[in-house]
Structure 1
Amino acid sequence: MPRFGIMTAPMQVGYEDILRVWQEADAVPLIEHAWLFDHLMPIGGDPLGPAYEGWTLLSALAAQTRRLRLGLLVTSNRFRPPAMLAKIAATVDVVSGGRLDFGIGAGSRPDHPLARREYEAHGLPFHDFAHSMGSLAEACTVIRQLWTSPEPFDFDGEFVQLTGAYCNPKPLQHPYPPIVIGGRSSALLRVVARHADIWNIPGGNMPDVIARSALLDRYCAEIGRDPADITRSIHLGVSYTDPAPTRAAIRAATDAGFHHIVLGLPAPYPEGVAQWVANELVISS
């Protein structure tokens, strides 16, 4: 059976609005998970408008919900050193009572100017594609080890070097929170094959989505991993005035084996939007 969730992009909207929607969703059993994104500045609308830092906001929402699984779709591996990110995520898993799905990706693509500007604006380096893929793979290795290692360890990678690395407290989930990797490039799918429990891809072009899923199957087979071990997740946009296209996209996605559905809710959010999602999209699909 598909598992449905919502995504509220934390930009051009108030904190109280997002909190309301998440608390509404927490009371609707048909909605099982909820997501934020990870950008430091808006990537749509007023470029000087508000955009909340994802992990800080996620921790606040984790403390004020009780049931929803929750995460960032997805964390930019370019923003935070992986050992620091492991500590942040472990803290959120504890705060949430063990409800974190740990989303991570390579970071913004270089051809998205509104996303690219946030690196220079915050003094963050923006390395080339090869660096972003290699550092993502090492980050996944290091983060998983920090969550599970009972003793401090050293790590001497090409992109990550740690001495005496240790994470305490550990996440509540054992052996660790599910790792969700988002993206579609062939190089990223190789990282997914080795490290992900869930793979997420934006919807909109189902033939491409299906082809990418088949490529992931092939990469899993090459390393001896069962492709069925990786849950297929898709992000689909929502229109409050015309839900029919989203219903059709849900049916196409589930037919293609995508059973983790993330419904992107545009702001402003109508009152009772979570129940609307359940009635108009989940039940009706």
Structure 2
Amino acid sequence: MTAPSQVDYQDILRVWREADTIPEIEHAWLFDHLLPIFGDPNGTTHEGWTLLSALAAQTRRLRLGVMVTSNRIRPPAMLAKIAATVDIVSGGRLDFGIGAGSRPSWPGARREYEAHGLPFHAAAHAVESLAEACTVIRRLWTEPEPFDFHGAHVRLTGAFCNPKPVQRPHPPILIGGRSGPTLRVAAEHADLWNIPGGDIDDVVRRSELLDRYCAELGRDPASITRSIHLPVSYDQPGITRDSIGEALDAGFRHIVLGLGAPYPANVVRWVADELIKPSA
């Protein structure tokens, strides 16, 4: 994962092009923020989906996505159209990441929304909207005729998406988050579920909670791939290797390694040799 903030486009492109040539790297990710969430508050931040489309056109093998799209930023029908376009540009390599949006408890959460004239509703509203968005987006990708949708938060008349994504029945849906309400949405809609690493015991408890919600819905918990984001330490790779080992032992098979900028030369080969191969 290369957070597209406090870094130039050419630097991210260099890393993704390198990753595209290294088989140990299966997927690559951006994040979805409109202003910096670390470093210089007035520094650069690139818009995630625009950048993802550019990188999709510059790569050939990597699966790719935004980890995770804020459902607060784009209307779901528009987001479905954007994502379908990226899946086409990439030749069917999109993993569609989505979440409820920034946590209200985070002090800077409102800043980027207010700066762009976007509403910032309470957490309950955000999660309810996420559930409706997932329903609408899947229908837009799969239904052959226009439809109306009248939800509590999403209202559409004559909704239709053409062309459809390349992938059938639709791109895999990755839902990110750790709260109980978000995990309920994941249990219903996700093909993959992602959580930031940290306290591995808490990560395991959240995974077990997802299992319980799946059981309530009559869904096999094993049908949802467990994904975790782990920061990479260039200076102390052993710490990252230990975190990878803990995640694998906890049943997480989709490992996202967050690279900090500036990116060293040949950083992806270093990741493969120093972090991935020793953990295999």
Q: TM-score, normalised by structure 2?
A: 0.99
| Alignment partners' CA distance in 2, 1:243 and 1:183 | 26
Q: What is the percentage of aligned positions where both structures have the same residue?
A: 75
Task: Supply the AA of the counterpart residue of 1:118.
Answer: E
**Corresponding pairs, count:** 279
Equivalent position SS for 1:284: helix
How far did 1:112 drift? 1.9
Unaligned runs of 5+ in 1: 1-6
Q: Which residue of 175, 180, 183 maps to 1:189?
A: 183
Unaligned runs of 5+ in 2: none
Q: Which residue of 144, 160, 170 maps to 2:138?
A: 144
| Alignment partners' CA distance in 1, 2:108 and 2:180 | 24
Name the counterpart of 2:174: 180
Matched, 1:278 2:275: no
How far did 1:258 drift? 0.2
Q: Which residue of 171, 174, 177 maps to 2:165?
A: 171
Task: Supply the AA of the counterpart residue of 1:219.
Answer: Y
Q: Is the 8 A contact 1:94 1:172 kept in 2?
A: yes
Equivalent position SS for 1:27: coil
The Cα offsets for residues 14-63 of structure 1, whole Å up to 9 and x where unpaired, read as 00000000000000000000000000000000000000000000000000
How far did 1:100 drift? 0.1
Task: Supply the AA of the counterpart residue of 1:14.
Answer: D
Task: Supply the AA of the counterpart residue of 2:84.
Answer: A
Equivalent position SS for 1:34: strand
Name the counterpart of 1:45: 39
Name the counterpart of 1:256: 250
Q: TM-score, normalised by structure 1?
A: 0.97
How far did 1:67 drift? 0.2
Equivalent position SS for 1:253: helix
Equivalent position SS for 2:229: strand
Q: Which residue of 129, 134, 149 maps to 2:128?
A: 134
Equivalent position SS for 1:283: helix
| Alignment partners' CA distance in 2, 1:31 and 1:200 | 17
| Alignment partners' CA distance in 1, 2:261 and 2:249 | 29
Higher relative contact order structure (alpha carbons within 8 Å, sequence separation ≥ 6): 1
Superposition RMSD in Å: 0.5
Name the counterpart of 1:9: 3
Q: Where does structure 1 differ by over 4 angstroms across 4 or more consecutive aligned residues?
A: none
